[in-house]
A and B are shown apart, each in its own frame.
Chain A
Amino acid sequence: MKFWLVRLASLLLAVGFAFGLESVVGHQFPSIYRLVVLAGLYITLSVSLNLINGITGQFSIGHAAFYMVGAYSAGFVSKALFSHQPLVPQLWMIVMALFGACCAALTGLVVGLPSLRLRGDYLAIVTLGFGEILRIVTQNIGAIGGAYGMNVKPFGSPPQALWLVWLLAILCVAVCRNLLKTAHGLPFLSVREDEVASAAMGVKVPKTKVTAFVVGSAFAGAAGALLAHAETFISPDTFKMDVSFIILTMVVLGGTGSITGSVISAIALFAIPEWLRNLQDPVTKDPIQIPGPALVASIISVVIAVALFKAVQNRFHGSKPAKFGLYLAAIAAGFVCKLAFTPILAQAPGLAAKSFEASALRMVIFAATLIILMLIRPQGIFAHHEFSWSWVAKLFRRAPKEATA
């Protein structure tokens, strides 16, 4: 009884959150409505890829392909059929999300079945190749818009898709979390850890891998279907290899296997470039300029700080607080270097005259952030850990416990 009450409450909470977000963003911040939609889609994409790569230990690097299958199949059907059927747009989008999920799952089965039965990293090559082939083929099919792309406007006005996108993200997180909370998650993890030992314990290794791949693809397909309806326009360029790599980066950066990590790094990696793109002076509204000497000094000092940080990480084996102090010192050393180098570099005649627009450097900053994070924390931000309430409770309880000890 209590179980079902909790279940009902969390369901209501999820739906309430999705609609709350829809109305808050829709009414208060319409300028970022589209970004919030995309962020929700990226959460679904990274968590679903995490099921394949992080939890089951496979190496799929073409997740955008299944996103694309969902988008195009749902978009195409929606265009052709919506006007002939009785559902309201909201319900129709749910049906289309399911349809996109089914199409992507089927595609996943066709792609995954042969490549997952083999050992080694065939999956990486196959998924990457499949994504590119699919994109190029689509570019050449006139009926679905070819290289120009396809308009998906079944409803008169653009649909309110944000709530649905975030519900999908919550569903995806819930499904993966539930899997890991029950014993059914263990064969997936054990396949990641050791296939031979798993098989010897009676785990059907190929079936487990294919299941993870198909479920992950289905979620990507549902996300694609919602994208098609939310954006009302899709083209092969929407699903370039970059998208696959961004999703992969989200998974790796968050910590392979950690759902929490995937969610947080999906939001962060999506938001950082967007934030950098719009960097402007708060008063004059001009794009922010970075003077040449400051930029070069920053690069040098970041390199120094990271090198010091790594040195502390690898060489120092003292107590935790001492190590933390040294980390802070390494970062402080970086700042000091920046301050020291900037005036020196300003003497260089060629450099002093130059300046760079911050938004133009955004991909550079983005890439540098990734490299630095991977250098100082190769296991990903969350490694294998998950957010949990007991963990939060422990944080708060720790202080008095130590006092009594």
Chain B
Amino acid sequence: MSTTGEKPVVLSLEGATIQFGGLIAVNNATFELQQGDLFGLIGPNGAGKTTCFNLITGVYKPTSGTIRFQGKEIGGLTPAKIAQMGICRTFQNIRLFPALSVVENVVVGAFLRHRTTLGSAFAYLPSSIRETSALKKEAMDLLEVMDLADVAQARSADLPYGKQRRLEIARAMATRPDLILLDEPAAGMNPQEKEDLQVTVRRIRDDFQKTVLLIEHDMRFVMGLCERIFVLDHGEEIAQGPPEKIRNDPKVIEAYLGEAV
């Protein structure tokens, strides 16, 4: 495993590029996340941020370039395989399992660590019952942390918006990923909820030792939270570095049309 400085590299993109017909949605993206980074990915609408996530999580196969996770090439693997290797994500347009209860949603995430066979479930053997209650317990603990324990039995579709976003994070955390990708986790939240979310994201990094890559439009949110930021515009990198540098970068200011950054 290569290291820069002191911490090991978790994720590295080298010239990752994807083209949809004539449109180059992400061009030559090159960046690196180290263990324990809180890394921001920003850019105007349609810049290619979500597409970047889709490349990393295997929804799309890069047209060229390499994506490495903990030293292993993952470009083109299936999403399920990548999730099992330790990358999990949330979605910009919340994608919960609406008819399932809150705790069931989280158990789906935890299920990738199951040990018993499907046959033992068909036969309702004690091993599969024990495993089920262990996974449920684990899910309940996570819900406790995410402050969702009181709605554990509710249908996930019935939750208010902010809680749905938090549930998506809890579900991703349940897979016990090393790297967690959050696609606009604060979208649609009120200022109070955003502040709580910042605390939660910090806890995910500090208490749970995850590396976090997040997309966010709210500049105050990103600048206050992330230690390093990568800026995309029309699929191209326009800046990369710590928040102070990004805030004063002329290209970034131009891309955001003078919006206070």
Nearest neighbor of A191 in chain B, beta-carbon distance = B97
Which stretch, B109-117, B211-219, B224-232, B245-253, touches the partner chain A? Answer: B109-117
Given A178-B124, A189-B100, A190-B97, are A204 and B131 neighbors across the interface (CB < 8 Å)? no
Nearest neighbor of B89 in chain A, beta-carbon distance = A200
Partner of B80, one of A184, A194, A205: A205
By the criterion CB–CB under 8 Å, are B108 and A186 in contact? yes
Chain A residues with CB below 8 A from B83, complex form: 199-202
- Whether a CB of chain A sits under 8 angstroms from the CB of B35 is no
Nearest neighbor of B157 in chain A, beta-carbon distance = A193
By the criterion CB–CB under 8 Å, are A190 and B118 in contact? no
- Nearest-Cβ distance from residue A196 to partner chain B, whole angstroms: 6
Over the window 178-198 of chain A, the binary record of Cβ atoms lying under 8 Å from chain B Cβ atoms (1 yes, 0 no) is 110111111101101110111
- Which residue, A182, A190, A198, A257, has most C-beta atoms of chain B within 10 A? A182
Given A189-B100, A190-B100, A201-B83, are A184 and B114 neighbors across the interface (CB < 8 Å)? yes
Nearest neighbor of A194 in chain B, beta-carbon distance = B95
By the criterion CB–CB under 8 Å, are A182 and B132 in contact? yes
By the criterion CB–CB under 8 Å, are B116 and A184 in contact? yes
- Whether a CB of chain A sits under 8 angstroms from the CB of B78 is yes
- Whether a CB of chain B sits under 8 angstroms from the CB of A56 is no
CA distance A203 to B114 in the complex (A): 11
By the criterion CB–CB under 8 Å, are A197 and B95 in contact? yes
CA distance A3 to B129 in the complex (A): 11
Chain A residues with CB below 8 A from B111, complex form: 183-184, 186-187, 201-203
CA distance A187 to B97 in the complex (A): 10
- Whether a CB of chain B sits under 8 angstroms from the CB of A384 is yes
- Which residue, A7, A183, A202, has most C-beta atoms of chain B within 10 A? A202
- Whether a CB of chain A sits under 8 angstroms from the CB of B126 is yes
- Nearest-Cβ distance from residue B54 to partner chain A, whole angstroms: 10
By the criterion CB–CB under 8 Å, are B80 and A204 in contact? yes
- Nearest-Cβ distance from residue B116 to partner chain A, whole angstroms: 7
CA distance A106 to B104 in the complex (A): 32
- Whether a CB of chain B sits under 8 angstroms from the CB of A262 is no
- Whether a CB of chain A sits under 8 angstroms from the CB of B34 is no
- Whether a CB of chain A sits under 8 angstroms from the CB of B189 is no
Nearest neighbor of A211 in chain B, beta-carbon distance = B118
- Whether a CB of chain B sits under 8 angstroms from the CB of A175 is yes
By the criterion CB–CB under 8 Å, are B114 and A183 in contact? yes
Given A194-B97, A201-B171, are A185 and B108 neighbors across the interface (CB < 8 Å)? no
Chain B residues with CB below 8 A from A181, complex form: 124, 129, 132
- Nearest-Cβ distance from residue A383 to partner chain B, whole angstroms: 10
- Whether a CB of chain A sits under 8 angstroms from the CB of B31 is no
Over the window 155-183 of chain B, the binary record of Cβ atoms lying under 8 Å from chain A Cβ atoms (1 yes, 0 no) is 00000000000000001100100000000
Nearest neighbor of B116 in chain A, beta-carbon distance = A184
By the criterion CB–CB under 8 Å, are B97 and A189 in contact? yes
CA distance A114 to B13 in the complex (A): 33
Interfacial residues of chain A within 197-235, with CB under 8 A of chain B in the complex: 197-205, 211
By the criterion CB–CB under 8 Å, are B129 and A182 in contact? yes
- Whether a CB of chain A sits under 8 angstroms from the CB of B107 is yes
Chain A residues with CB below 8 A from B131, complex form: 182-183
- Whether a CB of chain A sits under 8 angstroms from the CB of B66 is no
Chain A residues with CB below 8 A from B107, complex form: 183, 186
Nearest neighbor of A174 in chain B, beta-carbon distance = B124
Over the window 7-41 of chain A, the binary record of Cβ atoms lying under 8 Å from chain B Cβ atoms (1 yes, 0 no) is 10000000000000000000000000000000000
- Whether a CB of chain A sits under 8 angstroms from the CB of B145 is no
Nearest neighbor of B58 in chain A, beta-carbon distance = A199
Instruction: Name 7 A/B residue pairs within 8 A (Cβ), A-sorted.
Output: A7-B124, A174-B124, A197-B97, A198-B97, A199-B78, A202-B175, A384-B99
Excluding A184-B111, A203-B80, 14 further A-B contacts by CB distance (< 8 Å) are A182-B129, A183-B136, A185-B121, A189-B97, A190-B97, A194-B97, A196-B79, A197-B95, A197-B96, A200-B172, A201-B109, A201-B111, A202-B88, A202-B112
| Shortest 9 CB-CB contacts between residues of A and residues of B | A202-B112, A184-B121, A202-B83, A193-B97, A178-B124, A197-B95, A199-B79, A182-B121, A183-B132
